[in-house]
Homo-oligomer: A and B are copies of this chain.
Amino acid sequence: MTVTASLIEFALGPIKASERAPHIVNLSAVDWAACGIAGAAEGTFSRWAQGQGPSGPASTFAQGMAMTAPAAALVNGTLSHALDYDDTHFDHIGHPSVVVLSALMAEGPQDWKAFEEAALIGMEASVRIGVWLGRDHYQRGFHQTATAGAFGACLGLIRLHGLTAPKARAALGLCASMASGLKAQFGTMGKPLNAGLAARAAVEATRWAAAGMTGPAEGLEAFAAAHDAACDEAALVDLGIDWRLDNLSHKFHACCHGLHATLEALRAANVTEMEAIDIETHPRWMSVCNQPDPDTGLGAKFSYRHVAAMAALGYPTDDIGSFTDEIAKDPIIATMRHSVTVHASGDLSETQARVRIKTPDGDVIATYDLADQVPVDQLTGRIRQKIGTLLGVERATQLWSAMQTREMPAFQTACFQIKRAPD
């Protein structure tokens, strides 16, 4: 059986999710919404989003703007990735929610269970497809968030719409021509756009196939052949039994992912008074996020010394408002930075960090590995706190309550402030 056929069988068959996976999907839904709402406040992105509509019934994070479903997928995919604060899966290195959930929500699902199932399929498939395409696909310059993501979102929509298998094949076949997106966009507005374009590709491919457009029967294989991808068959083993989604990572600090293990280790140490900090990290991060003395908010997001100083001085690193030029230039933080040292350690993986904190009562050592699963109850508390920081109490409570009561219309209202009009 081809990978295309296996994934369609997965998308259309009964779902036997792990205990953890539905929790992940529900928590990711509020995390995605909070990132989208906060992302919509970014100037250029906001103006760009306004320029895409209004034109239809699908609501967006762009204030008050309803658009066609493809346009809403484009806009919401882009806005929810604009802050780079959304979830990440390290198996293929991609951001599943911004593509998959943006595509699903653009179609205005009316039922939480249907949405949850489609999200389980789409997010799990996007990771599996990314692993199947291979690490080399990412290394040579393709943004897995977008390429694997478009196919994953397409499979989620195939589930949501309940397409027949032949139409599902046509959808993935058309998607094979539309799935694209380069890592060369990193550091530009093209990075979040990649996510939006992938979400739109999935919506369009699925709608067009449903309307009778035809495409190649083996879309995944066609894409992989042209892109010279690894096609690692091990990526599909235990599909639907073992859920890679269980290992999805959520971001709790509004800065480069390379700093997160360090910030979590500092948090785990549970020390109130830090006099000096020594950080050990994986060598690859030394060229990514080790700016010694940043003087801009953007630079601060890529600085071990700065974020460790913030943590020592009690600045909330989960707040995007903490990464300003003003705070980057704060003399008290600048002084504290000089008590922070950073080293590369060959015995640490990319997801690990080790800190040694000098306190009035002696040294404290703590380690953290982002690859370790955070228990559901802890994860729930962290995400609840994050969305509160991002959105304020009222809107965060509205979002959270809609997710907990599984009321889709209330969730849509909380996400977009306006209800979705009927198609």
- A residues near B, CB below 8 A? 44, 47-48, 51, 55, 68, 140-143, 146, 170, 173-174, 176-185, 188-190, 193-194, 197, 207-208, 211-216, 218-219, 222-223, 225-228
Contacts and interface: CB of A to CB of B under 8 A. Distances in A.
Contacts of A219: 184
Nearest to A137: B226
B146 A177 contact: yes
B177 A178 contact: no
Nearest to A78: B213
A182 B48 contact: no
B222 A141 contact: yes
Contacts of A44: 211-213
Contacts of A197: 177-178
B174 A190 contact: yes
Contacts of A190: 173-174, 177, 213-216
B226 A228 contact: no
A225 B177 contact: no
Given A211-B47, A213-B193, A142 B226 contact: yes
8 contacts: A48-B212, A140-B226, A143-B177, A173-B184, A173-B188, A176-B185, A182-B216, A188-B216
A183 B222 CA distance: 9
Contacts of A207: 51
A180 B178 contact: yes
